Chains A and B, each alone.
Chain A
Amino acid sequence: MKEKRKLIFRAGALLIVLLIAAAMMVIGRGHTVYFDNKTLEYEGQSYEAYHRVDVYVKGERVARLGKRDRGMAEAMGQKFSMTLTVTEEKGAEPESYDVSLTLPYNMDGILINVPALLNGLTADAYLSELEIVVPEEETEESQEGEGVDLMEEVAPADI
């Protein structure tokens, strides 16, 4: 009986750990969200870019977009909330919109077209994936990645 109890405890502990791991994978999924203030053509309709869009995430201003500008913010988790302060034309009154988006899990870089978003279009229209291209740096010594030869360990820089 005691053996069985130990087994149940261990299985239970393992289950809890796996659940935590799964939760972490969902909560911690990092995305980079990009905002485009660009005119979008969709199904024959054209959605104009705004004169100025200010993007606020968690109270801090993350981007100030003129026409055709792109800004970015880092996000964690599947829900992304931001406040957009939009000035449609020069001299017009700025209007604020609170937006909450669900980010698709498997995309690293997510591109949001602001006009399409604010005009109530579906996610198909305003959301797309952005391939984050890492610029290929010159292969210097440090990028060779041959592993540290045991014979070449030098005095360390910092610990």
Chain B
Amino acid sequence: MNETVTIKDKFAAALKEFGLPRLIITGFLVLLLVMAPFVGADLPTQISNIINRFSWNGILVLAMVPMVHSGCGLNFGLPLGIISGLLGATLSIELGFTGPVSFLMAVLIATPFALVFGSVYGWLLNKIKGGEMMIATYVGFSSVSLMCMMWLILPYHSPNMVWGLAGKGLRTTISLEGYYDQALAGIARITIGRISIPTGTLLFFALLAFGIWAFLHTKTGTAMTAVGSNPTFAKAAGIDVDRIRTLSVVMSTWLAAIGILVYEQGFGFIQLYMAPFYMALPAVSAILIGGATVNKATIMNVIVGTILFQGIVTMTPTVMNNMIHMDMSEVIRIIASMGMILFALTRKTEAAR
């Protein structure tokens, strides 16, 4: 008698913690998947699309994890890391590297930028504990608009990247054909029937995800979690809170740089100027959809969240278009992802702020 009650209770409690918005979003996605074949959407293509988009975005969402662990909140300043990645990408092409090597070089060049930017960003966040998310947003915006000016001024010369007429100033979109388009995705691509799986990219994501998971179980990693969940205890235990927080910011920035490079190799283009402006928001809402909160995020949250988010982004347009010939996907995406972030922001936090 007692056993059935506890299982039911546990189920009800788990559902409540899962949260109504997440239930709605998951339910919605399942509905779309079920409806797809009935409305004429090609399910294998859609599934390929979802897997593809997961592979592009996974690392950007993964970049959220370190900072959530160390108590810096959701990294709305992701654009800063993205800019490091863009610098790596453009410089790699400028220096003349082509083919898959250009990807490797982009990663290598982006890394020092990410380290420097991340350190400064981390120092700033340490000065303003408690107001990280708002300031992160505006640091992101300021840096993107600053780079908008830089992309115009910096002395790039590669003919594939600059405006044809003027000869100086980078173009808004740069094609990666001949460079690292599909560099990772092409490695060991598996095709099952009509579903194409970019194994290379997924392996790369798995590698980094495993790396983060492993890190969080090391001494420094557990210190990071301690700093986030109970900063006073961490300080008392002799952990240098500021240093750990800066480390988490640097890690997050570096992952964002790698993340945008992986995104570009899947997408096929480098997007400059205002493109990175709002890129933090999809990543933030993806990890929140996956079950994370402002103070807690696991690798599983990243995987589940990215699949759900990209699933909705992919399925909604096709299903809706075939069904009611009206493309409301953009609006639905905004409402769903922003609603998710609002939900997360209004939860009671565990750590006293």
Contact = CB atoms under 8 A, between A and B. Distances in A.
- Is A in direct contact with B (CB under 8 Å) within the complex? yes
Interface of A: 146-147, 149-155
Contacts of B342: none
Contacts of A153: 274, 277-278
Contact of A150 (B145, B148, B278, B327): B278
Contacts of A147: 330-331
A155 B334 contact: no
B31 to A, nearest CB: 24
Contacts of A154: 274
Contact of A149 (B145, B327, B330): B330
A150 B274 CA distance: 11
B274 A152 contact: yes
Nearest to B148: A155
Interface in B245-277: 274-275, 277
B330 A146 contact: yes
A152 to B, nearest CB: 7
20 contacts: A146-B327, A146-B330, A147-B330, A147-B331, A149-B330, A150-B278, A150-B281, A150-B334, A151-B275, A151-B277, A151-B278, A151-B279, A152-B274, A153-B274, A153-B277, A153-B278, A154-B274, A155-B145, A155-B148, A155-B274
Given A153-B274, A154-B274, A155-B274, 13 more contacts: A146-B327, A147-B330, A150-B278, A150-B281, A150-B334, A151-B275, A151-B277, A151-B278, A151-B279, A153-B277, A153-B278, A155-B145, A155-B148
A52 B307 CA distance: 75
A153 B331 CA distance: 15
A41 to B, nearest CB: 48
Contacts of B330: 146-147, 149
A159 to B, nearest CB: 15
Nearest to B337: A150
Of all A-B residue pairs in the complex, the 3 with the closest CB atoms, nearest first, are A150-B278, A151-B278, A154-B274
Contacts of B148: 155
A147 B281 CA distance: 18
A86 B148 CA distance: 64
A73 B269 CA distance: 54
Interface string B116-156: 00000000000000000000000000000100100000000
Nearest to A148: B330
A12 to B, nearest CB: 38
